[in-house]
């Protein structure tokens, strides 16, 4: 007997970052976080449970993963098998629709899409809160990619209480995120390793917990009021304070490269010239610029001159998880 399902989930960019786990097995975070789901970057995943298989078979972007590289996916499927009556192995076919090897957050859309497709193929009927909790077990940031628009992840304290909640799902605010592809290579230190090192060794970690609480309290009403300046200042300072945890860890490390610093300088110059925009970046060098739609042309022109037009991608708020019919 076979059972199959396909789901699409979009990536998200964190405006108040998740950077540290309280429980590494259940992926319970140390703090809450808040993100914006993006329309330009997504993952499509098909899962088929098949009694004829002798192992899980995982194909990402057309390439079959070795058993070792498929470990996270295999462990995730084990969870779904435990929760359902399916016992058989599965075939997972996944395509990341992000600019080729751009190094833009992939684990969020990947595990949100996998949670949707695997649970549906296994015959589970999960509401979106339960899907968000399931996605969390694959990758923390995937918790938020179940929903569209601005999404908060309530840290909680156990498996039941840690999940995403939409703040504004249908965003009717003319804002955009301009993504700069500054380095196409895979990062050397994964988010998972990096945040654990920060929790364990940065003396600034307790201050970070207070910063996140303050930033969430500031950014939520500002989003609801469409207060662009407060949202922008909060997300930029939150990003820099997260990255300060990497510099203050031992051994120290950084996700920035030279182009990252140059692009930050350009954002400051744009602001000084009256183009109000703010930057953030996740665990990689690729800057994302939060701006108003009326400034997209000026911003893309400036960065296209600096880094080439192919490396500048304009994204808008995107939707939550979608289930796709078989073609």
Q: Is 109 in the site for Co ion (CB under 5 A)?
A: no
Residue 162 site contact among ligand ADP, ligand DP6, Co ion, none (CB < 5 to 8 Å, cut-off depends on kind): none
Q: Which of 244, 35, 235 is nearest to 141 (CA)?
A: 35
Q: Kindly state the number of chain residues that form the binding site for ligand DP6, as judged by CB under 6 A.
A: 15
Binding mask 172-201 for Co ion (x = CB under 5 A): -------------------x----------
Residue 96 site contact among ligand DP6, ligand ADP, Co ion, none (CB < 5 to 8 Å, cut-off depends on kind): ligand ADP
Determine how many CB atoms are found less than 10 A away from the CB of residue 9.
Answer: 32
Q: Whats the size of the chain, residue-wise? A: 327
Q: Is the dihedral of CA 115, 116, 122, 125 positive or negative?
A: positive
Q: Which of 33, 107, 260, 311 binds ligand ADP (CB under 6 A)?
A: 107
287 sits in which H/E element: none
67 sits in which H/E element: none
Q: Is 105 in the site for ligand ADP (CB under 6 A)?
A: yes
Token pair for 50: 């098949």
Phi, psi dihedrals of residue 185, rounded to the nearest 5°: -85, 160
Distance CA 161, CA 163 (A): 6
Task: Find the part of the chain contacting Co ion (CB under 5 A) among 100-108, 130-138, 248-256, 288-296.
Answer: 100-108
Q: Is 283 in the site for ligand ADP (CB under 6 A)?
A: yes
Residue 210 site contact among ligand DP6, ligand ADP, Co ion, none (CB < 5 to 8 Å, cut-off depends on kind): none
Token pair for 88: 């058989």
Binding mask 181-210 for ligand DP6 (x = CB under 6 A): ----------xx------------------
Distance CA 197, CA 251 (A): 8
CB of 192 vs ligand DP6, minimal distance in Å: 3
Token pair for 224: 């609801």
Q: Is the peptide bond before 273 cis (omega within 30 degrees of 0)?
A: no
Q: Which residues bind ligand DP6 (CB under 6 A)?
A: 14, 17-19, 27, 33, 105, 107, 139-141, 191-192, 282-283
Q: Which residues bind ligand ADP (CB under 6 A)?
A: 43, 60, 72-73, 94, 96, 105-107, 110, 139, 190-191, 283-284
């Amino acid at each position: 007997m076979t059972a199959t399902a396909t789901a699409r989930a979009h990536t998200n960019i964190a405006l108040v970052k998740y950077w540290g786990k309280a429980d590494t097995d259940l992926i319970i975070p140390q703090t809450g976080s808040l993100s914006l789901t993006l329309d330009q970057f997504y993952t499509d995943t098909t899962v088929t449970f098949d009694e004829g298989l002798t192992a899980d078979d995982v194909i990402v972007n057309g390439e079959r993963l070795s058993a070792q590289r498929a470990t996270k996916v295999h462990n995730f499927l084990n969870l779904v098998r435990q929760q359902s009556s399916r016992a058989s192995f599965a075939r997972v076919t996944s395509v990341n629709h992000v600019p080729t090897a751009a190094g833009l957050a992939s684990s969020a859309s990947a595990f949100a899409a996998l949670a949707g497709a695997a649970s549906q193929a296994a015959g589970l009927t999960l509401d979106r809160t339960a899907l968000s909790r399931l996605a969390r077990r694959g990758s923390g940031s995937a918790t938020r990619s179940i929903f569209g628009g601005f999404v908060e992840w309530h840290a909680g304290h156990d498996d039941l209480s840690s999940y995403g909640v939409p703040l504004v799902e249908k965003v009717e605010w003319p804002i955009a995120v301009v993504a700069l592809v500054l380095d196409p290579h895979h990062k050397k230190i994964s988010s998972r390793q990096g945040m654990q090192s920060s929790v364990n060794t940065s003396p600034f970690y307790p201050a970070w917990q207070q910063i996140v609480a303050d930033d969430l309290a500031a950014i939520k009403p500002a989003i609801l009021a469409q207060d662009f300046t407060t949202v922008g200042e909060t997300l930029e300072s939150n990003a820099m304070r997260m990255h300060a945890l990497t510099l203050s860890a031992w051994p120290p490390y950084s996700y920035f490269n030279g182009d990252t610093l140059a692009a930050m300088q350009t954002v400051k110059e744009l602001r000084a010239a009256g183009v109000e925009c703010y930057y953030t970046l996740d665990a990689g060098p690729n800057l994302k610029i939060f701006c108003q739609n009326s400034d997209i042309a000026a911003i893309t022109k400036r960065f296209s001159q600096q880094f080439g037009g192919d490396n500048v991608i304009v994204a808008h708020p995107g939707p939550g998880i979608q289930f796709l019919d078989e073609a």
